Amino acid sequence: MPDPGANTISEILSEPATWKSCLEELESTGQLLSFNEKLAGDLEWVFIGCGSSFYLAQAASSTWSIVTGGKSRAIPASEITLFPQSLPLPCQPVLITRSGHTSEVLQAAEYLEEKLNIRTVAITCAGGTPIEKKDSYLIKLLVADEKSTVMTRSFTSMLITLQLLAAIRGVRRDFVDALRSLPEQFAPRFVSIRATVKTLVDSNNFADYVFLGQGPFFGIAQESMLKVKEMSCSYAQCFHTLEFRHGPKAIVSPQTLVTFIISETGFDAELAVLEEIKRLGGTTLAVSNAGDPVIHRCADYAVELALNIPEAARAAASVVPGQLLGFYTGIKKGLNPDEPRNLSRVVLLENAK
């Protein structure tokens, strides 16, 4: 039997190398360039998924609008079939599914193709799955697939790939180059990030976990929250950073770890919330690209990504501290992050065909 969490930690640590392999494969196949030529112009792009793949959709959608200037939104797959009014028409749907088996995603694909006659884009990390039978423009990242139930490198690799498609669509050469430099820039940062998160977990026992982010970092905050829930069965919540003042800050205490995933665009406004939460006695972790006197003063723990790339291109790297937090907290609680309580690797609904 592998040690508890053995798959998850090796998959987290393999992220920079996996990103590099995915980017090299996409460049050598030219797949995204050919898709881009075939896809209709000037449509709203709708990113669709479940669980981690829905939070990925949120980060991808926000990046899409920033990088292409076009309209975009994220919708959970279940909403497509239960409340189809939520779908703007016409649109370009993008189905996100690590396993390629998730019932709600396959039902959404069927509805879009057969009822609305819309050809979807689909991205997955598995081969020979039902999503492959759909008439989609299919992107397969087999190198990013995982043994663990929880999504880590599949989440970040699929996000980077959709960001690359956005950069191609938006004719953003700088953003393409930035994503290509990410694995090399981030890999050396891993050791210190891992040490900071491990020290944080070893030195504290929290009752509540809160994750805060704005723009593309809101989806990243959502996923960080889910990693702590899944791998450590802890109570965790997520809000837009400035929304936390509007009521939820009532829960703040020293037993509450409040993690800020800080954007550049909202830097000053988000740091003002950090200052306030520190004054209220919360324990704080700041994930930012660069240091700052306010962060030094108000963050009990700080992770600096120090990546010389545009803000949105840092989204994938920004989720790694949350992945490690979930992992080390789960291990500390004697759990197995590879097989979280009550979870299966794929959600199959009974009524699914």
3-state SS class at 137: strand
CA distance 297 to 120: 48
Using CB under 6 A, which residues numbered 151 to 170 contact ligand F1P? 151
Residue in 12, 46, 50, 168 binding ligand F1P, rule: CB under 6 A? 50
Residues 6+ apart with CB under 8 A from 63: 159, 162, 163, 166, 216, 312, 315
Angle, CA 189 vertex, CA 183 and CA 190 arms, to 5°: 90
The minimum distance between CB 326 and ligand F1P, in angstroms, equals 11
* Site size toward ligand F1P, by CB under 6 A: 17
Q: Toward ligand F1P, which CB reaches closer, 102 or 237?
A: 102
The minimum distance between CB 102 and ligand F1P, in angstroms, equals 3
Residue in 150, 193, 303, 309 binding ligand F1P, rule: CB under 6 A? 150
The minimum distance between CB 188 and ligand F1P, in angstroms, equals 29
138 belongs to the binding site for ligand F1P (CB under 6 A): no
Using CB under 6 A, which residues numbered 76 to 135 contact ligand F1P? 97-99, 102, 105
Q: Toward ligand F1P, which CB reaches closer, 54 or 186?
A: 54
The minimum distance between CB 343 and ligand F1P, in angstroms, equals 6
- In DSSP terms, 92 is beta-bridged to 45
Task: Please identify, among the stretches 148-156, 176-184, 196-204, 284-292, the one whose residues bind ligand F1P according to the rule CB under 6 A.
Answer: 148-156
φ/ψ of 74, rounded to 5, equals -120, 135
The minimum distance between CB 28 and ligand F1P, in angstroms, equals 25
- In DSSP terms, 238 is beta-bridged to 211
Q: Toward ligand F1P, which CB reaches closer, 277 or 331?
A: 331
271 belongs to the binding site for ligand F1P (CB under 6 A): no
With the C-alpha atoms ordered 305, 178, 138, 83, is the resulting torsion angle positive or negative? Answer: positive
Q: Toward ligand F1P, which CB reaches closer, 222 or 318?
A: 222
Q: Which of 351, 337, 322, 59 is nearest to 211 (CA)?
A: 322
343 belongs to the binding site for ligand F1P (CB under 6 A): yes
Longest dimension (CA), the chain: 57
- In DSSP terms, 122 is beta-bridged to 95, 138
Using CB under 6 A, which residues numbered 219 to 248 contact ligand F1P? 230
Q: What DSSP assignment string belongs to 22-54?
A: HHHHHHHHTHHHHHHHHSPSS-EEEEEESTHHH
The minimum distance between CB 223 and ligand F1P, in angstroms, equals 9
How many CB atoms neighbour CB 193 within 10 A? 18
Q: What DSSP assignment string belongs to 62-111?
A: HHHHHHH---EEEEEHHHHHH-GGGS-SSEEEEEE-SSS--HHHHHHHHI
149 belongs to the binding site for ligand F1P (CB under 6 A): yes
- At 192, the amino acid letter reads S
Residue in 7, 18, 52, 68 binding ligand F1P, rule: CB under 6 A? 52
Q: Are strands 283-288 and 301-304 parallel, antiparallel or unpaired?
A: parallel
The minimum distance between CB 116 and ligand F1P, in angstroms, equals 21
Q: Toward ligand F1P, which CB reaches closer, 51 or 216?
A: 51
346 belongs to the binding site for ligand F1P (CB under 6 A): yes
Residues at the site binding ligand F1P, with contacts judged by CB under 6 A: 50-53, 97-99, 102, 105, 149-151, 230, 343, 345-347
